[in-house]
A and B are shown apart, each in its own frame.
Chain A
Amino acid sequence: MEFAFDLSAAVAVIATLLAISSLDPVHALLYLIVSLLAVAMVFFAIGAPFAGILEVIVYAGAIMVLFVFVVMMLNLGRAAVEQERRWLTPRVWAGPAVLALVLLAELLHVLGRMPAAAGIGEGTIGARAVGAALFGPYLLAVELGSMLLLAALVAAFHLGRNE
Chain B
Amino acid sequence: MGDALNQKENQEQTFRTIEISVFRYNPYSKHSKPRFETYSLSETPSMTLYIALSKIWATMDHHVSFDFVCRAGICGSCAMVINGKPRLACKTRTEEFLDGKITLMPLPTFKHIKDLQVDTGSWMNAMSQKVESWIHTKEKTDISKIEKRVEPDVAQAVFELDRCIECGICLASCSTRIMRESFIGAVGLSRVARFAIDPHDERTDADYYELVGDDDGIFGCMSLMGCEDHCPKELPLQTKIAYMRRKLVSQAIKS
A binds B: no
